[in-house]
A and B are shown apart, each in its own frame.
Chain A
Amino acid sequence: MGIWKFIARRLLLAVPVFIGVTLVTFILMQIVPGDPVALLMEEKAATIDPAAARIIRAKWGLDDPAPVQYLKYLRNALRGDLGISYRTDRDVLVSILERVPATAKLAGAALLIAIVIGVAMGVVAALRQNSLLDTASIMLATMGVSIPNFWLGLLLIYLLAVNLRWLPPSGYGPAYPYLLMPAVTLGTGLSAVIARLTRSSMLEVIRQDYVRTARAKGLAERRVVIRHALRNAAIPIVTVVGVQLSGLLSGAVITERVFSWPGVGRLLVDSIFVRDLPMAQGCVLFIATVFIGLNLVVDLSYAWLDPRIKYE
């Protein structure tokens, strides 16, 4: 099967999952206790005017049977219409898109930190197997996997911002100091996972014949490690990074809360507290859709890493 066919097939497979996700977010909103119109009108006025309520119900199609409502919801979602916020009266998708750069910056920086630290730690540990360095990195990785990121964030704030005053404690600024602590907080767990995996993957690869050949023909050690061993060890690492993106996105929700970072995750949690249901629903659908897209990218990146893959 050619690569284009593989991409097309993989895209097609994402469609039922996306439909499932919209169905779940739709059903969740259906089981919210109480009438959405009453909820909205309580926000805007002290009393609920039955005539006005009827008009709103008709306008939003709330009297339609549930399947019809769902199809309308799906159609609107595909057009990028996620509804209007109960709180701000603004378009939900526009509000979300405003927050995307902050979350993207945070998640991107965290991913970068996780990969750089994780791969470096794993490679060093594998090359010096059973040394003190190896033991130390295994211990660090075990701790890194288990540490709750909100606690790590608070520890960093206490140490680096409150005590040493090196970095701003929280908030969002144009400069990198603001990004450093949140990114480390979010990236630590993933870097530990990557370190463990890189170590075991490298240990397997450096015993292979082609690595011995590379050494035998006199290549520099650095070249052997990076070009011959690491590239082959990278396939399981990419797989795991793909799986762990899920943790990174939900971790972002928590990290944004710890550092008052104005991203999509914080918008979601804030809108839940003020019961702004269309906004919360929109955020959930948006994050899940981004996640489906990211997984697609991860799957496709195997092609670049391992030309042997036959795309079945």
Chain B
Amino acid sequence: MSATRPALAAAARWQARRSLWRRARRIRNLTIGGSIVGVLVLIALFAPWIAPYDPVTDADLNNYLVPPGGPFLLGADTFGRDVFSRIVYGTRVSLGVGIAVQISALAVGMTLGLLSGFYGRWTDNVIMRVAEVIFAFPGLLFAIAIMAVIGPSLYNVFIALGLVSWTSLARVVRGQVLAIKQEEYVEAARAIGAGNARIVLRHVLPNTVAPAIILVTLGIGGAILAEASLSFLGLGAQPPTPSWGSMLSTGRDYLLQAPWLSLYPGLAIFLTVMGFNLLGDGLRDLLDPRMQI
């Protein structure tokens, strides 16, 4: 008997995983969003093999604003650089910033949310008041203010967005913790002598994983849009970095002669953000249909 028990448990786990997978395939947002994001990740990883030119050094003023079609699939920019190659490499910038910002938001937001919900009292008060103040700035405004102070660069974009992005995660995690703290199994764990660390790691943390995954996925899209916005305003990535937002910023000045400078980088931002939004919506339908975000 005792030999079959682990086998049964493994079979049950496998069953559960298979039914989750079957459910996932039926959620259209999830499959479409997942495919878009998957393709983007591949483009970012294999950028040097996909892009026919170097995004920065292959500049030739003889190719000034060559329209799409000929040697340049999506045209050339004001330095005669290939727009397609710059968009391909731009995937790395966008995904890099989006993911890096959300990893830091996850680390900070999760930690502060857990502390806030678990310890309550003044810890909770301090953390939530700080979050409230950051929340009192309209979205991008706080990031713009930070960029004004520390100066425009891609690294600073990451810092500014990182400082802003943790608040919603902290709030959601805190809410989860407050709800879970009341559950009987936490009470039971404490009764048999589990310490705070063990309760947080074994009982509270696993319950915050689903909402965290959903928020982070949606957050990556948001961070990519924010980076593009800051770069469009001239406060983000600086030339010659192939950032979609700064490409659009140049494109604005050449809308009449060279509409392709605006059209394609914008399309890339649009598809990327939509991919992460669909994926996030789909994950919510899969993991936590009651969640309201």
Chain A residues in contact with chain B, CB under 8 A? 16-18, 20-21, 23-25, 28-29, 31-32, 142-143, 145-148, 150-151, 154-155, 157-158, 162, 245-250, 253-254, 257-258, 268-269, 272-273, 277, 280, 284, 287-288, 291-292
Contacts and interface: CB of A to CB of B under 8 A. Distances in A.
Interface stretch (B108-116, B186-194, B273-281): B273-281
Interface of B: 129-130, 132-134, 136-142, 144-150, 221, 225, 228-229, 232-235, 248, 251-252, 255-256, 259, 262-263, 266-267, 269-270, 273-274, 277-278
Contacts of A287: 137-138, 141
B50 to A, nearest CB: 23
B132 A17 contact: yes
Contacts of A246: 138-139
Nearest to A258: B252
Given A158-B255, A272-B148, A20 B132 contact: yes
13 contacts: A18-B136, A20-B130, A20-B132, A28-B149, A150-B266, A151-B266, A155-B263, A158-B262, A162-B259, A247-B138, A250-B140, A269-B234, A284-B141
- Judged by DSSP, the binding face of B is helix
A148 B269 contact: yes
The 10 closest A-B pairs by CB, nearest first: A151-B266, A20-B133, A250-B140, A146-B274, A249-B138, A246-B138, A272-B148, A146-B273, A250-B139, A154-B262
Contacts of A32: 149
Given A21-B136, A145-B274, A150-B252, 13 more contacts: A17-B136, A20-B130, A20-B136, A25-B145, A146-B221, A162-B259, A269-B234, A269-B235, A273-B234, A280-B145, A280-B148, A284-B137, A284-B141
A202 B7 CA distance: 48
A17 B267 CA distance: 38
B277 A249 contact: no
B233 A28 contact: no
B146 A28 contact: yes
Given A16-B129, A17-B133, A158-B255, A150 B140 contact: no
A53 to B, nearest CB: 22
Nearest to B134: A24
Contacts of B278: 142
A44 B152 CA distance: 25
Contacts of B233: 253-254, 257, 269
Contacts of A24: 133-134, 137, 142, 145
A143 B266 CA distance: 13
B255 A150 contact: no
A250 B266 contact: no
